[in-house]
Amino acid sequence: MEATPSDSPDVTPLPPDPAEPVAAPAPTTAQPTGVRRLGRAAHREIEHFNWRLTLANVLASLLPHLCFARLRTALYRAAGFRIGPRSLLLGRIYLSGTGRIQDRLEVGADVIINAHCFFDLTGTISLGDFVAVGHHVQIITAEHEVGPSACRAGPLHPRAIRVGNGAWIAAGATLLPGVQIGASSVVAAGSVVSGNVPPHRAVGGNPARPLRALPETP
C-alpha cells in the first residue's frame, strides 16, 4: 500500500509561497485595565478643580461674618479675581462654574457684597462702581434650551449679566440669565428679575415689575 504524505513521518511540508498573501491576525480589542478605568474616573471627578479658588474659599470661611472684610477681599484678589479699589466682601460668597471662572467676574470700585451670595460664573458677571449687593442674592448666568421629552434640560448656554454703576440689589433677589440692571436702579428684596431694568428705576416682585421712577440726584 502506497504511503500518503500525512502517513509518512519523513515528509517535510513545503514552505509558504512568498507570492501568496498572508492573512493578517484578527484584531484584538484591548479592554481598559482596572487601573486605567480608575484613572479616567478620577480625572472626571477633579477636572474642574480650581485650587486657587478652593484655597481662597477655605481661608475666607475661617473669617467671621462682617469682620476682616479687607483680608477676605484680598484673598479673592490673590485667587485671580478682578475686584476694584475699596470694594469689600462682607462674608463668604459662593462661586460656581467650570474652567477659569476668575476671568468671568468683574467687580468695580467701591462695591459692597454682603454674605452668602451665589454667583453662577458659567457666563460673565460685571458689577459697576458703587454697586451694593445684599445678602443671599443669586446671580445666575446659565440657562438650558428646552430639550426633548426624555430630558427637558437641553444644551447649556451662558448669558452675561451686567449691573450698572450705583445700583442696589437688595437681599434675597435673583437675577436671571442675560439681564441688564441699569445704573442707579433698585431691585427690591426677594425679587426675581427676568428682564432688563432701566436706569433710575425701582422694580420688585416675581417676576419683577416697575415700582416707581427714582430721582436723578447727584
- For CA atoms 50, 55, 56, 57, the dihedral sign is positive
Instruction: Measure the CA–CA gap between 157 and 177, rounded to whole angstroms.
Output: 9
* Annotated catalytic residue, options 48, 135, 144, 157: 144
144 flagged as catalytic: yes
Residues catalogued as catalytic: 144
